[in-house]
């Protein structure tokens, strides 16, 4: 195991040194002003005898804002005295375990009564971001596919560590996807090194979870190629070989071939720009079931490598034409309602395993795609689409906020399940056994599914903006 693995990293390499402090007799207001000025969430309390306690934003909210303690009182009135601490020779794993077990976000590092530093959830997230950057660097420097595969084999461990550190689900999937993007671009470079310069400009795009920047521990590949309209028939051999090299490399690195053949190796998805324009125009004009499915996939396209100018006008023109076609929008709405949350009679959760992808995350992904289509939003990330719908009024503030919270709950539950599987040495999947949640967690997950079901009903009846 690498010395840079968080679980074995000495805490003195992880902590923030010289944390912000104040005396026990400083006022609560002074401590709050310190936190606001330094953009931090805690202040450590020390006096001549050493470390005395800690006060956090949560303490002030609970005891001052909600509890009625006057802000001119000494901070000692609201601090946590003698909080849980760790010595400087502890490991990152000790911090993780303490935070998870005791449900705390700040761990002072103390030795002999002297405050040496502090580790916060922000510190853990920052370290993990640096760890993902290290994987990106190693991929970018890899000289062959086996070397890249050795790096991508570390992604499950990174996912488990990020989840264990309490990192937001959308930040986890963004970091994981950044690595896949780097792998793809490195493979494109390798392909060009082998084949020579491309005969005409091209653009490699990802769709699916990579396109949305929502990759987890379970991801196949979904991609395509848009070629310049200057491409000649004889040039297609070059791009067929390029697509095969990249697709094979992705598969070797753990991004398995798409079972639906939605890949650039399929000649249908390796075409000049004019053909792609014809695809989208045809899907919009005649929204049959296949057209709806393909449009749903292709509305999640995101450029990865090549000439991005090949996509800009195509995306904006397609969104404008699609949004103006009420019949197409209606079909897309109907298509988005095919994935239903797993709720039975009286909105009860079944006692059978839950598919957290197809009946959990996908229904919200589908809703986000429709909101983006209606508002002509170019973002492909689901959370970004929901935020844009809130900003534009396509979602009401109450309904949109509930849907965002529901999505966060479902997506986080999915990642936590995968992280537990990875720590147990199992291959991660999207299935949640019926007994894997506490009664409390199960109740909250059910509430999240009810929100999604409600928003689907509102969209299906044309009341989506009402929330």
How far apart, in whole angstroms, are the C-alpha atoms of residue 410 and residue 422?
19
Instruction: Give, as one character, the DSSP assignment of residue 437.
Output: S
Structure tokens that stand for 190 in this block: 């390798």
Can you give the pLDDT at residue 466? 38
pLDDT over 90 percentage in the chain: 69
CB-CB contact of 21 with 115 (8 Å): yes
Q: Tell me the three state secondary structure of residue 106.
A: strand
pLDDT tens-digit series, residues 87-144: 998 988 889 889 988 889 999 999 999 999 999 988 887 777 768 888 999 999 999 9
Q: Mark whether 65 and 181 lie in a shared domain.
A: no
Q: Which conformational region is residue 45 in: left (phi greater than 0), alpha (psi within -120 to 50 degrees), or beta?
A: beta
CB-CB contact of 20 with 38 (8 Å): yes
Asked if residue 291 is part of any domain, the answer here is: yes
By residue range, what is the domain housing residue 451?
337-466
How far apart, in whole angstroms, are the C-alpha atoms of residue 150 and residue 400?
41
Q: Mark whether 358 and 397 lie in a shared domain.
A: yes
What's the average model confidence in pLDDT over 151-161? 91
Can you give the pLDDT at residue 5? 62
- Estimate the share of the chain in helix, then strand, then coil, as percent rounded to the nearest 5: 55, 15, 30
Asked if residue 99 is part of any domain, the answer here is: yes
72: domain CATH number is 3.10.580.10
Q: How far apart are the first and last CA of the chain?
A: 49
Asked if residue 72 is part of any domain, the answer here is: yes
Residue with tokens 């949560």: 58
Domain count, the chain: 3
Structure tokens that stand for 26 in this block: 């400083």
pLDDT tens-digit series, residues 304-358: 999 999 998 998 899 899 989 999 999 889 888 889 999 988 889 998 999 999 9
How far apart, in whole angstroms, are the C-alpha atoms of residue 392 and residue 410?
24
Lowest mean pLDDT among 66-75, 344-353, 363-372, 379-388: 344-353
Q: Mark whether 189 and 234 lie in a shared domain.
A: yes
Asked if residue 119 is part of any domain, the answer here is: yes
Instruction: Give, as one character, the DSSP assignment of residue 263.
Output: S
Q: Mark whether 371 and 299 lie in a shared domain.
A: no
Q: Mark whether 307 and 348 lie in a shared domain.
A: no
- Residue 467: is its pLDDT beyond 80? no
CB-CB contact of 455 with 467 (8 Å): yes
pLDDT tens-digit series, residues 226-237: 999 999 999 999
β partners of residue 17: 117
Identify the domain boundary among 262, 293, 321. Answer: 321
């Amino acid at each position: 195991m690498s010395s840079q693995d968080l679980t074995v990293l000495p805490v003195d390499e992880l902590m923030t040194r010289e944390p912000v402090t104040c005396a026990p007799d400083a006022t609560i207001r002074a401590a709050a002003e310190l936190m606001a000025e330094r953009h931090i969430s805690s202040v450590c309390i020390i006096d001549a005898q050493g470390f005395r306690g800690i006060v956090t934003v949560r303490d002030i909210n609970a005891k001052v804002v909600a509890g009625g303690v006057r802000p001119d009182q000494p901070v000692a009135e609201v601090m946590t005295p003698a909080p849980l601490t760790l010595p400087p020779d502890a490991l990152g794993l000790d911090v993780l375990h303490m935070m998870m077990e005791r449900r705390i976000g700040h761990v002072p590092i103390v030795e002999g009564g002297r405050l040496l530093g502090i580790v916060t959830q922000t510190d853990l997230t920052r370290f993990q971001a640096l760890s993902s950057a290290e994987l990106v660097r190693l991929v970018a420097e890899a000289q062959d596919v086996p070397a890249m595969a050795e790096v991508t084999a570390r992604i499950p461990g990174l996912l488990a560590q990020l989840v264990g550190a309490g990192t937001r689900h959308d930040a986890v999937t963004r970091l994981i996807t950044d690595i896949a993007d780097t792998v793809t671009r490195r493979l494109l470079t390798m392909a060009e090194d082998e084949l020579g310069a491309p005969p005409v400009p091209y653009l490699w795009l990802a769709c699916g979870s990579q396109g949305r920047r929502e990759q987890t521990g379970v991801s196949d590949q979904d991609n395509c190629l848009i070629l310049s309209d200057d491409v000649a028939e004889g040039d297609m051999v070059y791009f067929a070989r390029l697509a095969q090299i990249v697709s094979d490399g992705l598969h070797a690195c753990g991004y398995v071939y798409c079972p639906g053949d939605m890949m650039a190796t399929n000649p249908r998805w390796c075409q000049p720009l004019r053909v792609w324009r014809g695809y989208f125009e045809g899907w919009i004009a005649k929204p049959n079931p296949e057209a709806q499915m393909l449009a749903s996939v292709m509305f999640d396209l995101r450029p990865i490598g090549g000439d991005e100018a090949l996509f800009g006008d195509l995306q904006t023109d397609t969104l404008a034409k699609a949004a103006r076609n009420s019949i197409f929008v209606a079909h897309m709405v109907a298509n988005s309602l095919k994935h239903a949350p797993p709720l039975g009679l009286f909105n009860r959760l079944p006692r059978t395993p839950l598919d957290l992808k197809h009946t959990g995350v996908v229904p919200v992904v589908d809703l986000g795609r429709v909101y983006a289509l209606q508002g002509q939003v170019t973002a492909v990330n689901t959370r970004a689409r929901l935020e844009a719908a809130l900003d534009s009024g396509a979602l009401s503030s109450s309904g949109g906020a509930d849907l965002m919270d529901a999505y966060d709950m479902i997506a986080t539950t999915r990642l936590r399940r995968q992280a537990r599987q990875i720590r147990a040495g199992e291959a991660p999947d999207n299935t949640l056994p019926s007994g894997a949640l506490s009664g409390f967690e199960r109740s909250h997950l059910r509430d999240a599914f009810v929100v999604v079901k409600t928003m689907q009903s509102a969209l299906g009846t044309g009341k989506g903006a009402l929330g």
